[in-house]
């Protein structure tokens, strides 16, 4: 039985859809709530539309006790925050310019999504957010495996300490390559690369023998060293490729920011073309984008939660508590 504060409670639905935590695990609902709202808000950043999601979602949650409506309402709040930062109100991209100029001291507005110069920073920022979330889920996995006393998984797996060191150092290496002044050392030096990249790769390779050694079963793999080496070479390659694909998967966050802004640009163009019918087109266009884009962004955010985050730390093999009788409750 899950118990969470009012702010997080609707997100129990997503956890239950995947699987309940067992008694050795933690309830991921608060983490899901924060990360889902963050990613949804970035991809669906519009102050006006976010306000409608917030008001409509919270009202439906109160009247119908609908958890999905509660999720929509909370995601609407972060949509408003990022919509304000992007300077977008129902697709009108210039309405908040005076506010941005006053608060942030910029010439027009803080961040122009549709500007060609903003595309690359937006995509890099999306991957950076993904990298931080991947590292956070690794920390959760390490903690949970230590709690389960599965030390080999905590130390040597791709989501354990070895994976954390490997992936974290790759991030530092990329920062040093493109922004060398940000780091006080050279991450490309051979000793550091051997220590923080080479050693973790060796630990990935030897995880099974080291696990057997820690359990007192000996270092020799059950299938022999020849078969073991052949299998593990491909396993290690798959691990390295998975880090790349998992990171690039967060490009969709930046992509949907552009997609949402592009759809609203089409709506605003149609408003100008339709003359007196412009207000009607404006309302219908906003409703259409909210329905279609909101649904797609919600699905993509849930996909990131399940496949890029839950798969790293959450088992979900708990059993739902069912009260046999409520007479003595």
- What whole-number percentage of the chain has pLDDT above 70? 99
Angle between helices 116-147 and 251-273 (to 10 degrees): 140
Which one, of 83, 11, 16, lies nearest residue 298 by Cα? 11
Domains of the chain, by residue range, sit at 7-119+250-315
Return mean pLDDT, the chain: 92
Query: How many CB atoms lie under 10 A from the CB of residue 272?
Result: 9
In the beta sheet, which residues pair with residue 20? 318
Helix (H, G, I), strand (E, B) or coil at 114: coil
Taking the CA of residue 245 as centre, how many other CA atoms within 13 Å lie in the half-sphere pointing to its CB?
8
pLDDT per residue over 108-120, tens digit each?
899 888 888 888 9
d(CA 322, CA 314): 22
Its pTM stands at 0.92
pLDDT at 9: 96
Q: Given a cut of 70, is residue 328 above it in pLDDT?
A: no
3-state DSSP helix/strand/coil percent for the chain, to nearest 5? 75, 0, 25
d(CA 313, CA 94): 43
Q: Mean pLDDT over residues 253-264, rounded? A: 93
CB-CB contact of 257 with 115 (8 Å): no
Residue 199 C-alpha from the chain's centroid: 28
pLDDT per residue over 124-170, tens digit each?
999 999 999 999 999 999 999 999 899 999 999 999 999 999 999 99
pLDDT at 234: 93
Query: How many CB atoms lie under 10 A from the CB of residue 81?
Result: 17
pLDDT at 267: 94
In the beta sheet, which residues pair with residue 92? 89
């Amino acid at each position: 039985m899950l118990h969470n504060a009012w702010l997080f409670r609707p997100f129990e639905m997503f956890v239950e859809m995947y699987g309940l935590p067992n008694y050795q695990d933690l309830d991921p609902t608060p983490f899901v709530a924060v990360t889902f709202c963050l990613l949804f808000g970035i991809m669906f950043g519009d102050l006006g539309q976010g306000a409608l999601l917030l008001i409509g979602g919270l009202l439906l949650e109160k009247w119908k006790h609908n958890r999905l409506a509660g999720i929509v309402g909370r995601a609407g709040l972060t949509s408003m925050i990022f919509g304000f930062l992007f300077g977008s109100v129902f697709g009108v991209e210039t309405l908040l310019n005076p506010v941005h100029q006053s608060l942030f001291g910029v010439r027009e507005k803080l961040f122009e999504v549709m500007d060609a110069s903003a595309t690359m920073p937006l995509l890099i920022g999306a991957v950076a957010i993904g990298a931080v979330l991947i590292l956070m889920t690794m920390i959760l996995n390490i903690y949970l495996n230590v709690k389960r006393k599965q030390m080999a998984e905590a130390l040597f797996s791709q989501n354990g300490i070895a994976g954390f060191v490997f992936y974290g150092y790759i991030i530092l290496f990329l920062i040093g390559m493109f922004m060398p002044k940000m780091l006080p050392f050279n991450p490309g030096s051979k000793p550091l690369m051997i220590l923080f990249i080479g050693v973790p790769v060796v630990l990935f390779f030897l995880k099974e023998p080291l696990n057997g050694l820690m359990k007192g079963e000996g270092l020799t793999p059950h299938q022999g060293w020849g078969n073991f080496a052949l299998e593990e070479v491909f396993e290690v390659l798959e691990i390295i490729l998975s880090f790349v694909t998992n990171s690039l998967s967060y490009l969709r966050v930046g992509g949907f920011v552009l997609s949402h802004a592009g759809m609203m640009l089409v709506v605003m163009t149609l408003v100008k073309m339709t003359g007196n019918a412009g207000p009607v087109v404006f309302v219908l266009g906003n409703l259409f984008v909210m329905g279609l884009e909101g649904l797609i962004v919600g699905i993509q955010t849930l996909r990131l939660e399940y496949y890029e985050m839950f798969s790293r730390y959450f088992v979900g093999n708990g059993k739902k508590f069912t009260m046999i009788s409520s007479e003595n409750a």
